[in-house]
Chains A and B, each alone.
Chain A
Amino acid sequence: MSNDVIVVIGAGGIGVAIARRQGFGKTVLLADFSDTVLSAAADALREASYTVETQIVDVSSRPSVEALARKASSLGSVMQVVNTAGLSPNMAPPERVLAVDLYGSALVFEAFGAVIAEGGAGLIISSMAGHMLPPLTPDQNQALAFTPADQLLELQFLKDTVPDSMVAYMMAKRGNHLRVQAEAIRWGERGARVNSISPGVIATPLARHELNSPIGEVYQAMIAASPAKRMAPPEEIAAAASYLLGSDAGFVTGSDLLIDGGVIAAMFAGKLQTPGQQAA
C-alpha cells in the first residue's frame, strides 16, 4: 500500500463513484456535512476493502476546511482532491447556495492548494448550470476568479444580480469554472493540476429526489430535449474524473469538461428554455 491520499469531499453518488474508481491502494479521506451519509458511504467502501478515513466537513467554514486539509496531510502525500460537495437550488436560499457552492469551493481550492503534492491533481464537480448563465463582463470574470475567498461574498454585483437560488447556483457554478482557471496557476507552481467537470442530470439519490419534487418536470423536459435522452450514472462522471486526475491528462489544467448528454446544446439550439434567463 502506498502513502498516497485521495480526498473526496461530499459522499454522495458522484463522490463515492470517484472514490471507488480512484481509491484502491491509497488512503481515501472521505468528508461530508452529514454524519449519516458519511458513515454509510465509508462502511460500503470498507466492505470492499478500501482504506477509508472520515471527517465531517462544512465547506462554508474556513476552520472546518483547513482542519480537513491538515488531516489529509497527516495521512500521507495528498495526490488527489475531489470536491463534490454542493447545495442544489431547491435545497437552500440564495445566500446558502453562494456560501457553499461559491465561497466553499474557493476555500477548498485555497486550503488544498497549500498541501497538494507535486504531480497531484484537483477536481471540482461544478454543473451544467454554470454554462446556462449568459456571459459575464470581463470585470465580473476577474472578480470571481481572483477575489480572495473571504471577500467573495461581499462582491457588489452578486448582491445586485442574484435574485433567487437558481441564479445563485448558476453563478456559483460559473464561479467554479473561473476559479479553476485562476487556481491552475497557483497549483501549477506546485507541479499540480486542477480542473472541473460540469455534469448534467446524473442519477443520484439527490436527482431522484429532485425528479419527484415540484420541479421534476423541468428535469424531465431537459432529458427529453437532450440528444442523449437519458440521465447518466455516476460512473460516467467517474470515468471522466479518472482521466482528468490521472497521468493521461498531464497537459490538462484550468479546464472544464461539460458532460450533460447535450442539454446545453439543446438550450443553445432553442429546443429548451434556459432556467432563470429573464432574471439573469
Chain B
Amino acid sequence: MGQVVVVIGAGSIGVAIARRISAGKHVLLADLRLHTADAAAKVLADAGFAVSTTTVDISKRESIEALVATATGLGEVTGVIHAAGVSPSQAPPATILHVDLYGTAVILETFGSVIAKGGSAVVIASQSGHRLPALTAEQDALLATTPAEELLALPMLQPDQVTDPLHAYQLSKRANALRVKAEAVRWGKRGARVNTISPGIIMTPLANDELSGPRGEGYRRMIDLSPAGRAGTPDEVGTVGALLMGAEGAFITGSDFLMDGGVTASFFYGELAPKS
C-alpha cells in the first residue's frame, strides 16, 4: 500500500500544503463539512492527485479515531496536516477550547500512534498564540502534557479564567505549540516529526470575508503597519509546510514557526503596540 497524507480541515492553507507534498501519494481530505472536502478534492483530482474525502468532527474523540482508521486503511500515514479550527468570531470560548485545544491534543495523540517512520505532521496554529503574555512554567507544562481527556478540566481553562473568545483562541493556539513540543518527544520514538506553523493574516476566502466585514478596518491596519506591508498567501504557508514536512526539514521537530509578515514584532516593539 502507498503513502497517505491526511489533511484535516480542507481550507486554503491545508490544501496549499497538501499540493506541495502529496505528488505520488494518496490525499485523504477530512472536513466537518463533506461538501468542503469534496470541492477541494475535485480541484486536487483535476490536478492529478489521488484523493478521497471523509468527514471529521475534531471535537469528538470517536470521530478522530474513525479518521485514523480510514487513513491507515488507505496505506502508510506519512503526513498529517492539521488545519481545522474555529476562529474567535465563530464561536463562544468553551467551543473554541473544545475544538482548537482539546481536538488538537486528540489528533496529536491518535495520529502519533500510527504515524509512519520518517513521517511528519504540521499543526496550523496562529500568530494569536504569540500575542498572549508568557504563562508560568507550571501552566506551560500542564497544557503540554495533561492527558487529552483531562485538559478541559484544568482550573486555568474554566469560564472564570477564560472570559472571551479571543482569549480562548490565544490560549488554544499557545497550547497547540506546547502540545506539539511535548508530542515531538513521543513522535520521535517512532522516527517521526511534528511541528507548528503560526500564520498571520493569510488571504483565504474566510480572510477576504473578514476584510470586508465589521472588523475589516482592524485587519487592514494590521497589514498596513506590519513590516511586510501585505497579507500572506496560502502558498507561502505551503512552502513552509513543505520544508517542515519534507526531507530538508529532517532536523526540525517540536518547533513553532511564526510567519506573519512581522505583525507580532510590530505588536510588541513597533507601530502596532497597544498604547499604554
Interfacial residues, chain A to chain B (CB-CB below 8 A) = 1, 13, 20-21, 24-25, 47-50, 202-205, 208, 228, 230-236, 239
Contact = CB atoms under 8 A, between A and B. Distances in A.
Contacts of B48: 202-203, 230-233
A205 B47 CA distance: 8
B25 to A, nearest CB: 11
B24 interface: yes
Contact of A233 (B23, B208, B231): B23
B233 A1 contact: no
A49 B231 contact: yes
Contact of A1 (B47, B205, B230): B230
A235 B20 contact: yes
B112 to A, nearest CB: 28
Given A228-B24, A235-B20, A49 B205 contact: no
Contacts of A236: 23
Contacts of A231: 48
A1 B229 contact: yes
B47 A49 contact: no
B12 interface: yes
The 3 nearest A-B residue pairs measured at CB: A203-B48, A49-B203, A233-B47
B3 to A, nearest CB: 13
Contacts of B47: 13, 203-204, 233-235
Nearest to B21: A235
Contacts of A13: 47
B235 interface: yes
Interface string B204-221: 110010000000000000
Nearest to A22: B235
A233 B43 CA distance: 11
Given A47-B203, A203-B47, A230-B48, A24 B233 contact: yes
A205 B233 CA distance: 24
Task: Choose among B20, B44, B208, B235 the residue with the greatest number of A CB atoms under 10 Å from its CB.
Answer: B235
Contacts of A208: 46
Given A203-B48, A234-B47, A48 B233 contact: yes
Contact of A50 (B24, B46, B208, B233): B233
Contacts of B257: none
